[in-house]
Amino acid sequence: MKKYYLILAAMSALVLAACQREIAPQKGLVFTATTESSVTKTALSENGGNYDVVWRAGDRITIVDAASNVGIYETESTTTHADFSLYGGSTPVTTPTYKAWYPANLYNGGTPTLPATQSYVDGNIGGSPMYAESGTNSLAFKNICGIIRLNVSTTLVGKTVASIVLNANEGMSGVISNAATLADDSYVAAVTGTAGVTLNCGAGIDISTTPTAFHFAVPEGTYTGFTITVTTTDGLTQTRTANKGITVGRRQITDIGLAFNNLSMAINLAETTGTVDIPSGVNARLYGSKTDRTVNVAGGGSVVTLENASMYKLNLNGDAIIVSSGTNTIDTSHDNPVFIKEGSTATFRGTGTLNVNAYYCTGPIICENYNADIVIESGTYNLNAGAGATRCIGAGNLSITGGTVNADTEAYVSLYAEKTLSISGGEVLARGDAQGIYANGGDVVISGGTVTAEQRRNSTFWGGPEANVAGIVVHSKDGTTGGTLTISGGTVNAIGHIGPGIGATWHRSGWSYAVHTRSILISGGTVTSSSDVEGQAAIGFSGFGNPTVCEKITISPGITSLTLIQGPTATRMITYGDSPAAFTVDGLDMSGYFSDPASVDWSTLPNLLRTVTTTTAADDTWVFTPKP
């Protein structure tokens, strides 16, 4: 059954006295914001088929103006027509047209994103997404999602829900693909991919024979292959699958009533030692300090929860989800700690920490023949490739959409993929002796998050004077043409201490490898690329015995800031190998820079401004920013 609702414009009210704030709200332009109703209700309750709500004190919105200024605004009102003033520490917006997002973190640093995790609110929906566009300071917010109201019951006694996960063949969370055209699209948000959504129920919500309502904000659409997984605080779980498509409309509530009477702990592996086999499609919970434990997961969509667990090895032999809770450790020598079978997809998520240490093997998380996929959605991952290990992650496709990844290797490369290595969110630190981030024949795509890719200063064999080294490398495989490096958002630091920040250098003549990158495109975000080594540059490709080619380098408007820092003894900001790249900046052909740097007139750039901090050939810093 569907009913119309008009949006909850409140998460949890952040009620703080003015004297408790470190920074008080600033004066300036005040915005008046409305929702899609003039009727006042403070909860998601029915009013003749409609659901009406109000703003609440402490609600915050993000506003972006036509000059790309971004400000966070807050209300102190509890009304349907609320005034929002600039919140301390933000940038005031001044230039119409204004685009506004609720809740404020929906804007996500310029990459509006529907969150993969939502929070339970009693009788309500927490922070349901809204959007407004206006040429004045009056903002009429519209819902950009619909609501699934899941009414859960059980005949079991004393059960409390810890979390509920919705999945389907269609995406329910992720980057809003039509963020630029929401108003033209009737305020219907769309996402790509198939990421589901998790409702976090905190300390737990009681369920009984009387249904309890749980609310989810999801994009409009018909969801096929729809599954609901309920997990209780005592580790019981059950998954139910809809036998038909579930349709959700913008501003609508779709009611689903289901009983979960078969909640069970699929073979709770607290004290198990030795070899543990988890059958296909089974959910399991591992905990306890059993450092000699080897766990084999058959796959089939199994969900394995690691709850303060220790083990020697985790083998994923099919599609599986690994959920971390608390602090977990996998510590192995002479064998890859987490090994993923060819053709599988391993998804890592959770609220906990997973520490993986590897010695005298390939590395902490490795795919068979680099032909399986790894997705990291949330959680914290400390990956240490110690003595004898060559990389921290080795995958076919590697996708990082959230969480924190600390990857450090003493030997070769930190994050390695042979297809596509994509980062759209989270915080990533990749440090390697030769490369921080390395796509061997595939692409590197960075569209969000905070990424540091560093090639070590004090390296030995792989990072010595005869090596293929850089912070970020897109390399050819088996002598064929390599992929593309695209940076379109986020904050990226590419650091080379022996080679360039971005690029590659190959000094070891007689080896069969060659460096061939199709293109480098920097079109968004805040990017810094640097090198502090003799003869190298911020972006560099050089051969010395083997063919080294980059076909084209493009810097386009849309960047927040691009900083290039060349080494103290470098002769050029961008170097090349066997042939210079086609070099385009702001739509202008700057290829003449390679033959005669002084011949290029940087003042002709129509949209970007280049600032140079020195006038010498070495130790230069170039900063590209949008022209005011």
Q: What is the pLDDT at residue 396?
A: 96
Region 179-190 average pLDDT: 96
Name which of 488, 406, 410 is nearest 446 in CA terms.
488
Q: What would the pLDDT profile of 514-550 be if each residue is shown by its tens digit?
A: 667 889 999 999 999 998 877 778 998 776 556 677 8
Run of H or E residues at 356:
strand 353-359
Q: Report, in this order, helix, strand and coil percent for the chain, each rounded to 5.
A: 5, 50, 45
Q: What is the pLDDT at residue 280?
A: 75
Q: What would the pLDDT profile of 132-151 be if each residue is shown by its tens digit?
A: 999 999 999 999 999 999 99
Query: Count of CB atoms within 10 A of residue 413's CB?
Result: 30
Where residue 568 falls among pLDDT bands split at 50, 70, 90?
Answer: confident
Separation of alpha carbons 430 and 454, rounded Å? 6
Q: Which residue has the higher pLDDT, 288 or 368?
A: 368
Q: Which residue has the higher pLDDT, 407 or 261?
A: 407
Residue-wise burial string across 475-508, b where 16 or more C-beta atoms lie within 10 A, e elsewhere: bbbeeeebbbbbbbbbbbbbbbbbbbbbbbbbbe
Q: What would the pLDDT profile of 19-38 be if each residue is shown by its tens digit?
A: 333 333 345 799 999 988 63
pTM of the model: 0.60
Query: Count of CB atoms within 10 A of residue 21's CB?
Result: 12
CA distances in angstroms from 574 to 58, 356, 503, 508, 531, listed in the order given: 49, 37, 10, 21, 11
Task: Domain ranges for the chain, please list them.
Answer: 2-259, 412-626
Separation of alpha carbons 175 and 453, rounded Å? 23
Where residue 506 falls among pLDDT bands split at 50, 70, 90?
Answer: low
CA distances in angstroms from 482 to 415, 420, 434, 503, listed in the order given: 17, 11, 18, 12
Q: What angle do CA 297, 303, 308 make, to 5 degrees?
A: 90
Region 179-202 average pLDDT: 94
Percent of the chain with pLDDT over 70: 85
Where residue 16 falls among pLDDT bands split at 50, 70, 90?
Answer: very low
The contacts of residue 458 (CB under 8 Å, 6+ apart) are none
Average pLDDT, the chain: 85
Where residue 579 falls among pLDDT bands split at 50, 70, 90?
Answer: confident
